A and B are shown apart, each in its own frame.
Chain A
Amino acid sequence: MILFGYRLPAMSSLILWGLLWEIFGQLEVTYFIPSLSAIFITLIEIAPTPAFIKAISETAHAFIVGIFFAVFIGVPVGILMGKNRIIDELLLPWVNMFLSAPLTALVPVLMVLFGFGIKSIIIITTLFAIWIIVLNSRAGVMQINRSLVDMAKSFGAKPQDAFFKIYFWAALPEILGGIRIGFIRAVKGVIIGQLLISIVGFGALFELYSSNFLMKHFWCVIIVLFAMAFTLSEILAHLERKVSYYASKRG
């Protein structure tokens, strides 16, 4: 953004919105929206409490494990689908169905199957993230330059060499794009899972704060979650830009 000839740093508009929020909060229009500064003071107060640390670490745990499965299953499956017609035809309908399915509706079933603990939340996180990762990896492989494949074959590439040295790298820009969207979906998954199960992580905190009308605390949690999701997505977008130089110049 350029204002009066000065180039403002990225996201400086956030400051403006933050100010508006502060003013609105100071006016004490409603109990439900406290001022931003009050929220930050509360955040500093509650951040070291065991309940908050426990919530953060449980969420991080579920998120990391869930995303790990989503990436390490999703990417190879997507690449195989892109390479192999038969595998593709077997799996594609399922992937498309789960991609658009309202996964939240599955949560009660998962709770029955896997209990009310962190295991269910990990599975929910994986389920939210994996499908787009599969589809993007598949799309990345499908647009591969055929002569790269012929080239590898003509030099006698073994299947695993073709997989790791050609398909994976050729599809990398799309794979990273898929992982970025997968991460964003995983954030949703981990939070929705916790809210529905509501005895672990931020679910428990939300329950505690909202049933006691601790609005400042409640907003703290929301801001922390938003900031975490946003940072993650920016880091991944940055990585994606690093490899995109060849996305347009493959061949």
Chain B
Amino acid sequence: MNKENAVTVKNVYKNYGDVEALRDMSLNFPKGELTSLLGPSGCGKTTLLKIIAGLLPATSGEVIVNGEIVKDPGPDRAFVFQDFALLPWASVIRNVAFGLELRGVAKSERESIAQKYIGDVGLKGFENSFPHELSGGMRQRVGLARALSVDAQVLLMDEPFSAVDEQTRRKFQEDLLNLVKDQNKTFIFVTHSIEEAVYVSDQIALLLPRPSRVSEIIRPTSFKNKDVDSIRRDSEYLDIVDRIWKSLRSYVE
């Protein structure tokens, strides 16, 4: 547990008017690992992610990314959106390169970078398609390629797979595991699925209902180095899924 932290959340409070979304939230995200945020609906997962992204100000407390306090969005973080957030009027390649375009990278350079990531996420040949011509799963691959192409240290993913079908989702989960291994980036991953969280995470933060704090941190160990196919049959995997469900079931009416 003595790993360096890429992101540290320290005593963060967030109120929306009278609604207290986060209360004294503290949480560490170790470098190079994937941390899942798991909690009941409306507990403030998106809120926390947006505060880390610099899209929302915290009411008090601070977020530290690579040693610096977060005030605004920055090139060290990239966001993957639940609804993909693609430009409907732009081709796949322009969408993937859009983060670089906003950062002022020249066209030929950004397109060659985009090209590489389009290949990496398996969309070769779709460079000139438009989002409405793609399936939900393919659209999220575009969103993922866009986030990867800016080469941010931290990837923030808000229920990225919730709008894709179950089979595509499993494929995504496998790809995500490989991505975490290969990329040496820090992933912060919001999901509603207990199985998904246990499957992909190095660390799982269980959140309490609003006002939200961390109730428990779980670090799966034994199945992390196994191959992707056998994880779902691993006894620790099954135990953790069970344990999380037991602690969350009381919040589900």
Contacts and interface: CB of A to CB of B under 8 A. Distances in A.
Interface of A: 145, 147-148, 150-158, 161, 165-166, 169, 172, 243, 245-246, 249-251
A153 B82 CA distance: 16
Contacts of B81: 147, 150-151
Contact of A148 (B50, B74, B87, B102): B87
Contacts of A172: 89
14 contacts: A145-B85, A147-B85, A150-B79, A150-B81, A154-B55, A155-B78, A155-B99, A156-B72, A156-B74, A156-B75, A161-B102, A166-B87, A243-B89, A246-B88
A156 B72 CA distance: 8
B102 A156 contact: yes
B53 A155 contact: no
B103 interface: yes
User: Which DSSP category, helix, strand, loop or mixed, fits chain A's interface?
Assistant: helix
Contacts of B101: 165
Nearest to B100: A155
With a 10 A CB-CB cut-off, give which of B55, B78, B86, B89 has the most chain A CB atoms: B89
B77 interface: yes
Given A148-B85, A153-B73, 5 more contacts: A147-B83, A155-B78, A155-B98, A156-B74, A169-B89
Contacts of A158: 102
A150 B85 contact: yes
Contacts of A243: 89
Contacts of B85: 145, 147-148, 150-151, 251
A169 B87 contact: yes
With a 10 A CB-CB cut-off, give which of A148, A151, A169 has the most chain B CB atoms: A151
Give the contact-size bracket for chain B. 20 to 34
Contacts of B82: 147
B84 interface: yes
B124 interface: no
Contact of A249 (B55, B75, B88): B88
A158 B81 CA distance: 20
With a 10 A CB-CB cut-off, give which of B72, B74, B82, B102 has the most chain A CB atoms: B102
Interface in B98-121: 98-99, 101-103
Contacts of A161: 102
B132 interface: yes
A35 B150 CA distance: 70
A245 B73 contact: no
A251 B95 CA distance: 12
B73 A155 contact: yes
Nearest to A166: B87
A154 B79 contact: yes
Contacts of A150: 50, 55, 79, 81, 85
A249 B79 contact: no
B79 A151 contact: yes
Contact of B132 (A155, A165, A245): A245
Nearest to A243: B89
Contacts of A251: 83-86, 88
B73 A154 contact: yes
Contacts of B87: 148, 166, 169
A145 B83 CA distance: 10
A161 B99 CA distance: 12
Contacts of B84: 251
Contacts of A246: 88-89, 132
Contacts of A250: 88
A153 B89 contact: no
Interface in B150-198: 150
A12 to B, nearest CB: 34
A165 B101 CA distance: 10
Contacts of B78: 154-155
Contacts of A169: 87, 89
A246 to B, nearest CB: 4
A154 B73 CA distance: 5
Contacts of A151: 79, 81, 85
A155 B103 contact: yes
A154 B150 CA distance: 11
Nearest to A148: B85
B53 to A, nearest CB: 5
